[in-house]
Amino acid sequence: MGLLGRLLWTLGTACVVTVGATGAADQQVFSVPLDASGSCTMFWRVDYARRTLQVEIHAVLPERAWFAVGFSDYGEPSPADYCVLWQDWRGRTRLQDSWAEGGRLRVEGRQHCKDFRHTRVGNVTKFTYSRLFDTCDPHDYVIEDGTTHVVWATGAGPLFRLDGVSLLGEGTRRGMQRAQLLKNTNVDEGVPADAWTLDVRAARVQVPAVDTTYWCHVAKVPRQLARKHHVVKYEATVQHGNEGLVHHMEVFHCEAPVKEQVPLYRGPCFAATRPDATKVCKRVLAAWAMGAKPFVYPKEAGLPIGGAEFNPYIMLEVHYNNPENKSDWVDSSGIRLTLSPTLRPHDGGVMELGLEYTDKMAIPPGQPRFQLTGFCIAECTEVGIPVGGVRVFGSQLHTHLTGVRVVTKHVRGGRELPELNRDNHYSTHFQEIRRLKRHVQVLPGDALITTCTYDSRPRPNVTLGGHAITDEMCVNYIHYFPKVDLEVCKSSVSDASLQAYFRLLHELDGQATGPHLGVSDNYKTVDWTPVRAHVLSSLYAESPLAMQCNRSSGARFPGDWSAMPSTSILQPLPAPGRHCANLHHQDHDHDHDLDDDAGPEHPDAGGLMEDWGQGDTMKWETNGPN
């Protein structure tokens, strides 16, 4: 039994989801706890060649209990797509592909939870199945790059049938966790021989008994960083037992003059007592979220840290997720930076794309899907990127609380190239810097267009752009090499267009807007209706741009950037095909009566999938209880 298997056995109420795959690059095991106590943990592997997940679950469950695991758009239990293990009154164990509607399970006519096997060892139920990323079934969730909301539920059995079982009934336990399932599996995690590690950790934080806490911890780096180093890797160091509590973490550099001291603040990030001097700690060095493996820089580059001009203060920010409002959590988690004094050929850089942090951009209330777009235009990359271009290898998408989707498009000469990054189920509570599966070359004259989609239905009034968590942002922090002087390439609506809009709202629509009010007050004065929200969206789409085309120093590149044209896509990228005809043909070849969905039992299976005849390629890093 492996170490993780032994730990899970001792939990007493453990359920583990593991996903397996074949192929040398696809043998990595990823993991994420499914509940705050860590009693349910999800492991997974990905088979890109077959576009398949092979799932295994270990669960300490009462006999005959049913267990559902699946996916939904944003973590809601219904509507959702599930594979459900259950036992009938004869004691026959089944796995059925189901979808939830109105909080009740509905069994699919065509089953896509395949290759089912199961066993029970003591009080541990184990079962395995495979599932395609995209089954082309209208009731099935499409597993994509980006964030996936994993949902699960369990209840008492036996059942006389699965169809109609309530996910919301009394005695049913359920939960949700976010993960990036389709991870980059081709990352070399080796580090130089002279590398050393720097742990940036919280110090025995007594986590508040509230649902969500952002905790800030300012620290001073050691004297070794008086000499410039490269960060070549970073990873989480989550305190054992707190895997379900620590949701995501970031390390920021405090962008202050080299001799300036920053207060060593330790407390809630949004507390009134937080010193203003710590607000300069905002340049992202590292970002981790649940389920993320170590982030490794490509061999060509490292992130510069330290040196004669480097202010020696950094800040750790930890997001604690405590939905049960427990008061006895104590935490010392953090991020481990792996540093090398041997500098790589290139300094890595971080460039901000998207929207300027300004109240000129706003989201009307009550909108299920409202879009804002920020442009990095060709004129800016022409002056900011050298002839050889830069290679983008990582990306961190960022909005605040109402953001639900983010995409960055890449345009060259009016022709749309493959997207730089997309997350169709984005959540501000799950942010990580992701290694792209391919390096993207950005040349001078290219444009990068970042569009964020927001759900403002819970908001009573307009949401403005800004830095507060209740304001909104639309940003893509791209990680690239070699480092260039262009650091910010962002836009907002032009000042003249916005003032003309407020004037017309007053003159033609009777709103109390006008030049006597500031931008924020003008937006807040509008009585927002769907028509007025549509007109604002049209203004943003058609208006000239006020550009931030900024150097690392904060100064703009020379020129008048106040009324620039936005980028037009003349040749859009074709939508990717789904090959559904082939899948439906395969489904007909394998269709079977639902009475035949009871998988074979393997009572002697003490480990994972290799014990069930899956072949030598199924070698797992952890073994379950046996």
Enzyme catalytic residues: 214, 398
Q: What is the CA 194 to chain-centroid distance, rounded? A: 32
Q: Is 164 buried (19+), middle (13-18) or exposed (0-12) by CB count in 10 A?
A: exposed
Residue written as token pair 């005849």: 613
Q: Is 590 helix (H, G, I), strand (E, B) or coil?
A: helix
Rounded distance between C-alpha atoms, residue 109 and residue 496, angstroms: 58
HSE (side-chain half, CA atoms, 13 Å) at 12: 1
Four-residue CA torsion sign, 24, 26, 31, 34 = negative
Across-strand partners of 128?
A: 56, 117
Q: What is the DSSP secondary structure assignment for residue 239, as one 8-state letter?
A: P
Q: Alpha helices, DSSP H only, in 3-80?
A: 3-11
Q: Which amino acid is at 356?
A: E
Question: Helices (DSSP H) in 438-563: which residue ranges?
Answer: 495-509, 519-525, 530-542
Query: Looking at the DSSP assignment, which residues form a beta bridge with residue 34?
Result: none
Name the CA radius of gyration of the chain, rounded: 26
Q: Where are the beta strands (DSSP E) in 133-265?
A: 148-155, 173-179, 196-201, 205-206, 212-220, 229-237, 246-254
Bond preceding residue 79 cis, omega within 30 of 0: yes
Helix or strand (DSSP H, E) at 581: helix 580-590
DSSP string of 386-447?
Answer: -TT-EEEEEEEEE--TTEEEEEEEEEETTEEEEEEEEETT--TTS---EEEEEEEEE-TTEE
Quickly tell me which residue has 């989201």 as its tokens: 363
